[in-house]
């Protein structure tokens, strides 16, 4: 059995994981943050709109906020190991097998975050570089002025439709529901926009193209199947938890794959906590993730430093 490498291993270097590491250090505990990518921030790297609702801090976009976070991580010398993908977990002994070796700790904080949901249609990944986008704001210049289709019904899809309608000849907004989930004021603007065509109760069911470039999409509508000629499709259908590696463990997950926790962010396995979007399907946000990191770190400190304290012993089975 490997020796104990640190008090707490934190898996994920997004806002939740980095907040947890900051608080663990403050509470006198050693830690190591494991990040499968080659940079900090998680989904912050893909937030292209201004951040105005993070109390006490405004940023032009996610990368600007990430710059501030990176400065703090470097200033506090928080230990982060990049390109370190988790391959398996033995949660009962807080052991993590990674692409670079096996690590063991006295506690774990899971902060794996979310990933963008894909349509999972034939050819989707293959044509990604030639007409598929997961952010109309990021790819705005490449999309140009021609027609574009957007699939989704939340804030992201509606905001992308409004942004691209300023430059594109026509925007097709395809949503499988009968009404949008986006903020009412955004929906009002979309409905009134003369360049945006709404396809409700409709789904993109097939992609067409050649030589790696998208040419058109088939849409299943209440009136039958229709083909829409578009060189770009923007996919904004939400997120799903990065919990694949957890499914082979004894950890309790909900039906959507989110980790179930109690109010202390304890999972169903003792000494294993979860933080951030991985366990927050109802209100994923930067602010909630940062707060979760602090709460989880405090929970770890109580388990490790106060063996007779309120969080000692087996964690209860949390309710979903």
CATH of the domain at 85: 3.50.50.60
Shared-domain flag, residues 191 and 140: yes
**Overall average pLDDT of the 68-73 stretch:** 91
Strands (E), the chain: 6-11, 31-34, 51-54, 57-59, 80-81, 86-90, 95-98, 101-110, 114-116, 132-133, 148-151, 171-175, 196-200, 203-210, 213-221, 224-229, 233-235, 239-241, 272-274
Domain edge (last residue) among 235, 269, 284: 235
**Residue 310 falls inside a structural domain:** no
Please give the model's pTM, rounded to 2 decimal places.
Answer: 0.86
Shared-domain flag, residues 133 and 229: yes
Find the domain containing 221 and state its range. Answer: 128-235
Shared-domain flag, residues 137 and 231: yes
Shared-domain flag, residues 248 and 231: no
Residues 6+ apart with CB under 8 A from 127: 207, 209, 212, 213, 214
Helix ranges restricted to H, 229-312: 286-305
Q: How many domains does the chain have?
A: 2
Q: What percent of the chain has pLDDT over 90?
A: 72
Asked if pLDDT for residue 166 goes beyond 80, the answer is: yes
**Residue 314 falls inside a structural domain:** no
Shared-domain flag, residues 255 and 231: no
**Residue 52 falls inside a structural domain:** yes
In this prediction, residue 213 carries a pLDDT of: 86
Dihedral (Cα; 276, 277, 283, 284), 10-degree rounding: 100
In this prediction, residue 319 carries a pLDDT of: 41
Shared-domain flag, residues 212 and 274: no
Shared-domain flag, residues 43 and 30: yes
**Residue 32 falls inside a structural domain:** yes
pLDDT tens string 119-134: 888 766 565 557 999 9
**Residue 175 falls inside a structural domain:** yes
**Overall average pLDDT of the 187-200 stretch:** 97
Both tokens of 21, joined, read 């590491």
Domain edge (last residue) among 206, 235, 264: 235
**Residue 268 falls inside a structural domain:** yes
Shared-domain flag, residues 291 and 253: yes
In this prediction, residue 50 carries a pLDDT of: 83
Name which residue leads in pLDDT, 58 or 202.
Answer: 202
**Residue 300 falls inside a structural domain:** yes
The 8 Å CB, 24+ separation contacts for 25-31 are 25/76, 25/78, 26/297, 27/297, 27/298, 27/300, 27/301, 27/305, 28/301, 28/305, 29/297, 29/300, 29/301, 29/304, 29/305, 30/6, 31/6, 31/7, 31/78, 31/79
Instruction: Please tell me which of 208-212, 226-230, 316-320 the model is most confident about, judged by mean pLDDT.
Output: 226-230
Shared-domain flag, residues 106 and 37: yes
Shared-domain flag, residues 225 and 263: no
CA dihedral over 147, 151, 156, 159, signed as positive or negative: positive
Shared-domain flag, residues 253 and 295: yes
26 alpha-carbon distance from chain centroid? 26
pLDDT tens string 221-273: 999 999 999 999 999 999 999 999 999 999 999 999 999 999 999 999 999 99
Shared-domain flag, residues 180 and 261: no
**Residue 200 falls inside a structural domain:** yes
């Amino acid at each position: 059995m490997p020796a104990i490498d640190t008090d707490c291993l934190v898996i994920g270097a997004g806002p939740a994981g980095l907040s947890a590491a900051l608080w663990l250090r403050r509470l006198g505990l050693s830690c190591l943050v494991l990040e499968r990518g080659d940079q900090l921030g998680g989904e912050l790297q893909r937030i292209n709109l201004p951040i105005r609702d993070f109390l006490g801090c405004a940023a032009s976009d996610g990368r600007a906020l990430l710059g501030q976070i990176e400065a703090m991580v470097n200033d506090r010398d928080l230990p982060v190991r990049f390109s370190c993908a988790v391959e398996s977990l033995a949660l009962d002994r807080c052991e993590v097998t990674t692409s670079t070796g096996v690590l063991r700790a006295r506690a774990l904080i899971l902060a794996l975050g979310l990933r963008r949901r894909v349509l999972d249609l034939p050819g989707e990944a293959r044509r990604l570089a030639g007409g598929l986008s997961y952010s109309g704001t990021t790819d705005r210049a490449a999309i140009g002025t021609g027609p574009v289709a957007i699939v989704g019904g939340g804030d992201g899809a509606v905001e992308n439709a409004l942004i691209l309608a300023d430059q594109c000849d026509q925007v097709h907004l395809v949503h499988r529901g009968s009404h949008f989930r986006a903020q009412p004021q955004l929906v009002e603007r979309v409905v009134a926009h003369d360049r945006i065509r709404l396809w409700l109760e409709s789904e993109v069911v097939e992609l067409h193209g050649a030589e790696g470039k998208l040419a058109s999409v088939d849409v299943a509508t209440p009136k039958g199947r229709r083909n829409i000629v578009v060189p770009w499709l923007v996919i904004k259908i939400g997120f799903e938890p990065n919990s694949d590696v957890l499914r082979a463990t004894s950890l309790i997950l909900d039906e959507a794959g989110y980790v179930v926790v109690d109010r202390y962010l304890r999972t169903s396995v003792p000494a294993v906590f979860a933080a951030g979007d991985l366990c927050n399907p109802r209100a994923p946000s930067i602010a909630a993730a940062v707060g979760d990191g602090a709460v989880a770190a405090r929970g770890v400190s109580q388990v490790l430093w106060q063996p007779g304290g309120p969080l000692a012993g087996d964690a209860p089975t949390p309710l979903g």
